[in-house]
Amino acid sequence: MAPSERGNCFVLLLCLCSVVWTGQASQLPLRTFTTADGLPSNRVSRIVRDARGYLWFCTRDGLSRYDGYQFTNFGVEQGLPLGSTDLLPSQSGAYWVATSDGVARFDTTGRDPLFTVFRPEDPGARRITALADDGAGGLWCETMKGLYRLVPSGPASQQGVWTFVLVDIGLPNHFPDDHVVTALLRDRSGTIWAASYSGLYRSSVNGTWTRYTPAWVYRIYTFRACFWAGTATFGSVLGMACAVSPLTGASAPRWKVSIISRMAGTET
């Protein structure tokens, strides 16, 4: 998730629900957690559940772990930049945290430093809004200045040597926001899907990228072999929902785009 900040500010309240069955009916008790309960901020960007059952909350003022009883917070005092937007557990047991000032590697073994921060050379790309595993020991990083990979640089990567590489996916270069990546997803086959103001982009095994839907894609989600793309209304672009699905019987991977619905407005 990469929230657009075109003059809008969203304050999210965190709500956790549990289902209690009573006969044939179900009840949904609702409890709201705020800073009064221990959260570092009421603005929550992402919630991630790890393999051990902990819930991690990425907030404007830091990262918070919930064990079912209390929140444990990590922030500037521990070396984590402000503006946590995503968290990705790694196979090594460490966690990668996307922030407004780079990507932080969170070493949960208690070593010092607790957080090691990596930043792209371009200051405009240091606001990382989402992460995805690249399947080869590195990360895909969604930024405000394009799509990057954070890759280990040889054997020294064990000591923290990592490099940001800008990936050319074919984004246009007409307006300042053309380089903003708004959503990122890695499917079961390892294919990377990236959304932007100019459409939905899909990677291929040979390193090339294909664009689907020329609209501003704001969210992407996979369901039943299809990729659902939600677009936003902006200017002459109408809000819509569309599905990108594989074509059956094709000798090579081919996809079609189906417009599911359009919101109120005049089509152009």
Same domain, 143 and 245: no
Same domain, 145 and 178: no
Which pLDDT tens digit goes with each residue over 148-207? 999 988 654 455 689 999 999 999 988 888 899 999 999 888 889 898 988 889 898 888
Q: Which residue has the tokens 């003022």?
A: 61
H/E stretch holding 27 reads: strand 25-27
Give the range of the structural domain holding residue 20, as residue numbers without chain letter: 1-167
Mean pLDDT, range 49-62, rounded to an integer: 95
Same domain, 38 and 140: yes
Contact between 128 and 86 under an 8 Å Cβ cutoff? The reply is: yes
Hey, is 156 helix, strand or coil? helix
Rounded Cα distance between 75 and 62, Å, is: 5
As given in the structure block, the two tokens for residue 158 are: 């064990």
Rg of the chain's alpha carbons, rounded to an integer?
20
Whole-number pLDDT of residue 7: 32
E-assigned strand segments in 102-204 = 102-106, 115-118, 128-133, 139-143, 146-152, 162-167, 181-186, 192-196, 199-203
Same domain, 153 and 69: yes
Supply angle C-alpha 237, 240, 246, rounded to 5.
115
Same domain, 93 and 177: no
Same domain, 42 and 153: yes
Whole-number pLDDT of residue 6: 32
pLDDT > 70: what percent of the chain? Answer: 72
Same domain, 192 and 136: no
Which pLDDT tens digit goes with each residue over 4-39? 333 333 333 334 333 333 344 467 788 899 999 999
Higher pLDDT, 262 or 228: 228
Whole-number pLDDT of residue 86: 96
